[in-house]
Structure 1
Amino acid sequence: MEIQALPEVTAVPKDPRSCIRLLKADRERLVTHIRNVQCLIDNLLVNEYFSVEDAEIVGACPTLPDKVRKMLDLVQSKGEEVCEYLISVLQQIPDAFIDLQPWLEEIRFSPSELVRGRIIVNTDPVSRYTQKLRSEWGRDSKFLTSYSQKEEMLLADTYTENVMELLDFRNESLGTVSSLGSLLDDPAGVINQEGETVFIFGDAGVGKSVLLQKMQSLWAREELGSEAKFFFPFRCRTFSCFPPSAALSLRDLLFTHSCCPELDPDAVFAFLLRFPQSVLFTFDGFDELHSDFDLSQVPDAASPLQPAHPLALLASLLRGKLLPGAGKVLTSRTGVEVPRALIRKKVQLRGFSPSHLRAYTCKFFPDRALQVRVLNQLDASPHLCTLCSVPLFCWIIFKCFQHFDATHEGAHHLPDQTLTLTDIFLLMAEAHLNRALPTSLLQRNMRSQVETFRSGRETLCALGRLAYWGMLKSLFVFSQEEVEASDVQEGDLQLGFVRAVPEPGPVGDQPAYEFFHITLQSFFTALFLIADDKVNTRELLKFFGEWTPRGQSAASIPLPLLRLSCLGGSNLDKEDPFRNNDHFQFTNLFLCGLLSKAKQRLLRHLVPVVALRKKRRALWRHLFASLRSYLKSLPRTHTGEFNQVQAMPTFIWMLRCIYETQSQKVGQLAARGICANYIKLTYCNACSADCSALSFVLNHFPKQLALDLDNNNVNDYGVKELRPCFSRLTVLRLSVNQITDSGVKVLYEELTKYKILTFLGLYSNQITNIGAKYVAKILEECTNLTHLKLGANYITSEGGKCLALAIKKSKSILDIGMWGNKIGDEGAKAFADALRNHPSLSNLSLAFNGISTEGGKSLAQALQQNSSVKIVWLTKNNLDDEVAESLAEMLEVNQTLRDLWLIQNQITAKGISRLADALQKNSTILDICLNGNPIKPEEAKVFQDEKRFHF
């Protein structure tokens, strides 16, 4: 029981009426709204204002209103101090007396110093339940739970935020998330005011579960910045484990499968129903909702008291049919679409940026000497950095580094740039298996990887059998019986590959288990498919059917997916089945890695050589056939000199698999199948590690080509990984990719070696004046460059001047996009100098650049001496009538300009009148866009005959 002194309250003028009179005057209001008499009696007893007999008298009353009336009578009979104390309790425990808070504000109540010194006992069920939730969730979230049960790491000492990007419904960036608290209540990033769900998505291993654990920890410490009194964390995969006959009410779901109130559950549940906005749910892993259960066959769960299948409850909560107004945070792997009506904010986790990775490294390795060794190896290996940009893979790499450093007395280094994802998981498996060895103070373990895997074969096969069985059924939680049926021993469970489910599961008190991450289950599935003699080639290739293009035959086995039509979305059966099947694709990837030539020395000790060779041949044949079939099915567009192919995320997965083989022959055969010279991979969620796979294949492409990677997550690491194919790129689009000055420096170093680039797109990245100087050098040295897109970066007048000087020297540039920087008037003057008599520049955008009168006038004057520019965008600046006057003078001379965009400036009717006069002498300009300027409708009517004006 919590007992606390009343906090200090700023004194305000007291109501001249006494507290006794207040209780009498508002007696019926108090009788109506006091619902928790027991809390008041408890406090009166603790302070000896009531005797036990008084409490019994109140308790003997038959109804709640009678109890309140009797209590008020007794309190008033005991004098002014007791009445004042009663009102203080009403004020200081708002959860118990929420309906009386407006009354307390009306009377401007402030307790006396004597009453403020009295203790308050908070026995309100709602307050106590909130305290219990904070206590339990704080304890449960203290340690990271997604690794070995033998080693727990404090969340506070380990958690490092990664890049969180707000998106709109078209997946265009709305900026980054400033903090976890801002995800909930900050209006920034809201794309649907009626939506209640913050939808967070990202690739497997990017940190979605850990982010929710951090939110849980912050809420428990009251540091989340949310007003939510109740927090209910759920993992979606457990909903799939309930049998079809299961039926729960919402109350059962919350209090039985989450956390049960200690006092009066009825009162707590009634509060939840009455104030649903006080509730925050988190649902982790929406993509893991796999089940044979068909929700379309059952009615909506619209009543909080009516039992329904747990999946129906989940669907009704997400749709707002149950507890409308409650906050929801839903996570999923990339590719799962949630109906727009549900979404309030859409957030993509991008992984560690270079600064995040450095911060995480310093947290993970507090020992300075070891920290320096790790950072040095990361700096020397760009590909290792690309793998470490995924938090889960970074964690595994660092744990392996930590393990081998301790085992080999600091002499061990992780593999170099050829490290693949399969290598990471093999290292992790080796480290876990070595835990089973007896330790000695005098002798360290010096077993080779081959010896480790040979001795652990039975363990690997048993875990692989369990993983494969779950993969076939799309299940990720296993009962004790299922674990035993797979011959998994108790000792195997202690190695860290499998962990106990961290919350009560659907099977009650029986233990349940899961692999510590879905990618690990995929790894063991692939290992089992290779190591088990009974698995034939058809079964080996089972999961490759998940990426077969529509309309083509495949030896795939359909896996039942939870039908989510009840959420209001489109029919999933008509969608790409690959979209949320990452666990199958990781299995395919690990198959390619394990069956690669480099892994044969290891696997021949686990699998007969003849069987291994047979499975390798079958895999390579199927991989090449799938790649050829897929590439033929892709839509193509012929534009000028380019034969453009629009690839999909499936193509990225194929490239990943090819890269895992580490076979140059495989890479050459894959490159030979790309019958296009413009590869478009926009919005494919390609990360920096994918650039390694892309380069591995494109490095063998025999001709020059164009590469469009706009709107992905390439970042600086990815730019470094693209180095092998820069000698072939004539077009490179990397807009919206988290690229900084470091990445631009790499572009300068590589692109200027070959000087074949014609188009460079770097819109909406994180480039400053430093990067702008490198881009200027590219512009100067790449004499074929015709298009440069640098909008929405962080370039000011300094960078603008460097770019303008390079533009002035260029005789090839046609199109410059600088929208959304901050070059200001000084930068505009430099661009004006570049414009004068420029021989080639055709399109120029300086919109939204902080340009005002002086800069605008300079540009207008320069255009008088230019005969090449046809389109100028000056939207969203601060151009006024003086600039309009200069532009009018320019239009009287310039007979080349076709379009002039002046949207959202400060031009009035006076300036427009001057432009209208100039148009009488100009027959070549087609459009002048002026909407968004301070022009009244009646003023605009004056110019309605001038069809070239657009208001």
Structure 2
Amino acid sequence: MSFLAKTRLHLRNEVGEIKMPARPTTMVIDMQNSTDANPENGSHGASKTIFGRDVEEISYVQFHDPLKDEVPRHVMILGEAGAGKSTISAMYCSAVADGNVETLRSVELVHYVQAAHLHNNSTANAFDLLFTEQMTCDPMTELTENERRAGAKWLNQNSGKLLLTIDGLDQCLDNFAVNSLPKTDQQNNSRISKTIAKIMGGNIWRGAYILTTSRWNIYWNFTAEQKPNKVIGMRGLDDGNLRLAASGHSVDGDRMIDQLVDTSPKLLNLCRNPMFLKYMTNVFRTNSENLPDCISGLVSAFFRNFFRMSSEKYGDITRLAYHGMLKNLFVFSRCYLENLGINPKDLNDFLSAGANPEKDQDIANSFDDIFAFSHQTMQEFCCALHVASLDRSNMKRFISNDLNENGLELTRQFFYGLILNDKVTNPMRKFLTGLKTPIRDCREMLFEELFNMVTDGTIRDISTVRLLYECGDDTIKKMKQHVQRVTINSGDLL
């Protein structure tokens, strides 16, 4: 089998047959009028999420359609956690491979890679990192030495016939460099993010078409050279697709949506996110009369429905999530779990098998020896639960430093909701017993952080508004005494 034949088989194995009858709205976004909101420029904690300005709605098969009369080389899909970025990028790859994308009819090779599955291998060149190592997991697609050489040669000569899709830039092990990266050729050693950044900047495989996905915050880490020619924003499910998607989860979708319209319009808006809609339909099936009203409440309710383990195994899963989030690690080898004293067989409900781990985890030989959480949002929630179990000094340090870093924004929302919002805390009591730091002390630390966010009586950051919403009505009432004004860029509210 030739290199091209094996890569086509690999694509089919990676993306499969995806059916998504209810698709989120995808918009071309103008990011030119947005400014980077660095914490040093006035915002406290995690950087602002800037959403840009909607230009026009497009179908997913139009991602590489001309922008200002020119076909964009690099397109980036940006969206919140669970927005459907991975699904729609995989659908796009299938459409291009099947010849159903007019602007990319010249493409002969479509390659799909999940950033979380890339090895932390400083000795691998771009071809080995993105092709050789990714295709090794399946004996049917593993490249021989001759095929490897032929593939590298083909790409050097035909880079303009490649569509490379890298899903989840925010899940790369090492952060993207803010400063310009040196222009080097393909053979130079590089860490993962630097290699990807060079590809995005056109310094490797110049002329290749690129599709990347990420959460919004990563966009500001790129230089002008590395930023995409076109940005696509995931804007959630519209009214019609929301009902269609809800009905696809084995519930009375119309009844659920009508109930949310009447009782919790804010939660309805959250359910426009496909992953959170999935969580909501699960919660609705079990308790349709008592629905949560914030993200932490929704995910904690799903967690309680899903979690049927002993307290010891519960500690294992939250500890794994915590260690993973600190390292920006989202796939785990059996060896890595065993080094943490964790038996993966005990965690079948939360870990799915079949992914490619990082280099420093002693890669296992079997596909079944690689594990990941069912979705990144569940890992982030479990991480928040583990933070609640830390002793006072470690918790104080984590809250003041790590929890305010980019990449932990959702974990931060979950943790504040778990600790400060009684509607979230009380149903989770059995998971919050025997803590080294009493809930009362945790709340004091978080209130101190909240007060620091509004030191001059002004809320300037949309992330602070979201955080307060997670904290519940009682916290909001207390904070109102310290807030005199709210000044937020209108673009943040889109």
Which TM-score band applies after superposition, normalised by the shorter structure?
Answer: 0.7 to 0.9
Residue 42 of structure 2 is matched in structure 1 by none
Deviation sequence 1:641-700 (CA, Å, 0-9, x none)? xxxx7x23xxx2222232223233x21222222223x6334122x3xxxxxxxxxxxxxx
- Taking the aligned partners of 1:301 and 1:363, their CA distance within structure 2 comes to 49
Paired residues for 1:47-86 under 5 Å: none
- Taking the aligned partners of 1:466 and 1:422, their CA distance within structure 2 comes to 20
- Taking the aligned partners of 1:609 and 1:305, their CA distance within structure 2 comes to 51
Closer, same or farther: CA 172–252 of 1 in aligned 2, 3 Å = closer
- Taking the aligned partners of 1:282 and 1:209, their CA distance within structure 2 comes to 10
Paired residues for 1:329-368 under 5 Å: 329-335=211-217, 336-337=219-220, 338-342=222-226, 343-365=228-250
Equivalent of residue 160 in structure 1, options 22, 25, 47:
22
Residue 467 of structure 2 is matched in structure 1 by 657
Residue 626 of structure 1 is matched in structure 2 by 452
Residue 668 of structure 1 is matched in structure 2 by 477
- Taking the aligned partners of 2:364 and 2:342, their CA distance within structure 1 comes to 20
Contact 2:76–2:211 (8 Å) recurs in 1: yes
Letter in 2 for 1:427: A
Partner of 2:386: helix, strand, or coil?
A: helix
Equivalent of residue 539 in structure 1, options 383, 394, 414:
394
Deviation, 1:387, is 1.9
Deviation sequence 1:833-884 (CA, Å, 0-9, x none)? xxxxxxxxxxxxxxxxxxxxxxxxxxxxxxxxxxxxxxxxxxxxxxxxxxxx
- Taking the aligned partners of 1:283 and 1:659, their CA distance within structure 2 comes to 33
Deviation, 1:593, is 1.8
Partner of 2:487: helix, strand, or coil?
A: strand
Residue 3 of structure 1 is matched in structure 2 by none
Determine if the alignment matches structure 1 residue 499 to structure 2 residue 307. no
Partner of 1:426: helix, strand, or coil?
A: helix
- Taking the aligned partners of 1:586 and 1:490, their CA distance within structure 2 comes to 25
Residue 323 of structure 2 is matched in structure 1 by 469
Name which of structure 1's ranges 337-346 and 322-331 shifts more when overlaid on structure 2: 337-346
Closer, same or farther: CA 622–487 of 1 in aligned 2, 3 Å = farther
Paired residues for 1:176-255 under 5 Å: 176-177=57-58, 179-184=59-64, 186-187=65-66, 189-190=67-68, 193=70, 196-225=73-102, 226-227=104-105, 228-239=107-118, 241-244=119-122, 246-248=123-125, 250-251=127-128, 253-255=130-132
Deviation, 1:481, is 2.8
Residue 612 of structure 1 is matched in structure 2 by 438
- Taking the aligned partners of 2:257 and 2:443, their CA distance within structure 1 comes to 40
Closer, same or farther: CA 462–662 of 1 in aligned 2, 3 Å = same
- Taking the aligned partners of 1:181 and 1:190, their CA distance within structure 2 comes to 18
Closer, same or farther: CA 269–490 of 1 in aligned 2, 3 Å = closer
Residue 431 of structure 1 is matched in structure 2 by 305
Q: How many residues align?
A: 456
Deviation, 1:610, is 8.6
Contact 1:280–1:328 (8 Å) recurs in 2: yes
Deviation, 1:306, is 5.1
Task: Give percent identity, aligned residues only.
Answer: 20
- Taking the aligned partners of 2:238 and 2:277, their CA distance within structure 1 comes to 12
Letter in 2 for 1:429: F
Residue 334 of structure 2 is matched in structure 1 by 480
Residue 156 of structure 2 is matched in structure 1 by 273
Residue 138 of structure 2 is matched in structure 1 by none
Deviation, 1:207, is 1.4
Closer, same or farther: CA 396–488 of 1 in aligned 2, 3 Å = farther
Residue 140 of structure 1 is matched in structure 2 by 14
Paired residues for 1:908-947 under 5 Å: none
- Taking the aligned partners of 1:400 and 1:217, their CA distance within structure 2 comes to 33
Partner of 2:225: helix, strand, or coil?
A: helix
- Taking the aligned partners of 2:193 and 2:446, their CA distance within structure 1 comes to 40
- Taking the aligned partners of 1:522 and 1:334, their CA distance within structure 2 comes to 17
Letter in 1 for 2:108: K
Letter in 2 for 1:415: N
Contact 2:331–2:371 (8 Å) recurs in 1: yes
Deviation, 1:325, is 0.5
Contact 2:337–2:344 (8 Å) recurs in 1: no
Deviation, 1:305, is 4.6
Deviation sequence 1:222-274 (CA, Å, 0-9, x none)? 434432111111222344x5144x33352564233245568855444433222
Deviation, 1:606, is 4.2
Partner of 2:413: helix, strand, or coil?
A: helix
Determine if the alignment matches structure 1 residue 520 to structure 2 residue 378. yes
Partner of 1:341: helix, strand, or coil?
A: coil
Contact 1:500–1:514 (8 Å) recurs in 2: yes
Partner of 1:181: helix, strand, or coil?
A: helix
- Taking the aligned partners of 1:196 and 1:597, their CA distance within structure 2 comes to 49
Deviation, 1:299, is 5.9
Letter in 2 for 1:682: S
- Taking the aligned partners of 1:215 and 1:297, their CA distance within structure 2 comes to 30
Contact 1:138–1:221 (8 Å) recurs in 2: no
Name which of structure 1's ranges 341-350 and 503-512 shifts more when overlaid on structure 2: 503-512
- Taking the aligned partners of 1:274 and 1:610, their CA distance within structure 2 comes to 60
- Taking the aligned partners of 1:616 and 1:161, their CA distance within structure 2 comes to 40
Unaligned stretches of 5+ residues in structure 1: 1-124, 144-154, 405-411, 435-454, 546-555, 560-576, 635-644, 687-711, 713-951
Deviation, 1:198, is 0.3
Paired residues for 1:523-602 under 5 Å: 523-530=381-388, 532=389, 535-545=390-400, 556=401, 581=406, 583-595=407-419, 596-598=421-423, 599-600=425-426, 602=428
Letter in 2 for 1:231: V
Letter in 2 for 1:395: K
- Taking the aligned partners of 2:152 and 2:175, their CA distance within structure 1 comes to 31
- Taking the aligned partners of 2:278 and 2:142, their CA distance within structure 1 comes to 34
Deviation, 1:415, is 2.3
Residue 926 of structure 1 is matched in structure 2 by none
- Taking the aligned partners of 1:190 and 1:505, their CA distance within structure 2 comes to 40
Deviation sequence 1:376-398 (CA, Å, 0-9, x none)? 43443423312201111111222
Deviation sequence 1:626-647 (CA, Å, 0-9, x none)? 2332x55x6xxxxxxxxxx7x2
Deviation sequence 1:901-931 (CA, Å, 0-9, x none)? xxxxxxxxxxxxxxxxxxxxxxxxxxxxxxx
- Taking the aligned partners of 2:487 and 2:177, their CA distance within structure 1 comes to 40
- Taking the aligned partners of 2:262 and 2:108, their CA distance within structure 1 comes to 49
Residue 866 of structure 1 is matched in structure 2 by none
Closer, same or farther: CA 628–213 of 1 in aligned 2, 3 Å = same
- Taking the aligned partners of 1:613 and 1:222, their CA distance within structure 2 comes to 57
Closer, same or farther: CA 608–501 of 1 in aligned 2, 3 Å = same
- Taking the aligned partners of 1:322 and 1:620, their CA distance within structure 2 comes to 46
Contact 2:22–2:245 (8 Å) recurs in 1: yes
Closer, same or farther: CA 621–224 of 1 in aligned 2, 3 Å = same
Letter in 2 for 1:600: N
Equivalent of residue 174 in structure 1, options 55, 77, 86:
55
Deviation, 1:201, is 0.9
Contact 1:253–1:310 (8 Å) recurs in 2: no
Contact 2:334–2:344 (8 Å) recurs in 1: no
Closer, same or farther: CA 341–472 of 1 in aligned 2, 3 Å = closer
- Taking the aligned partners of 1:180 and 1:349, their CA distance within structure 2 comes to 11
Deviation, 1:317, is 1.3
Contact 2:113–2:130 (8 Å) recurs in 1: no
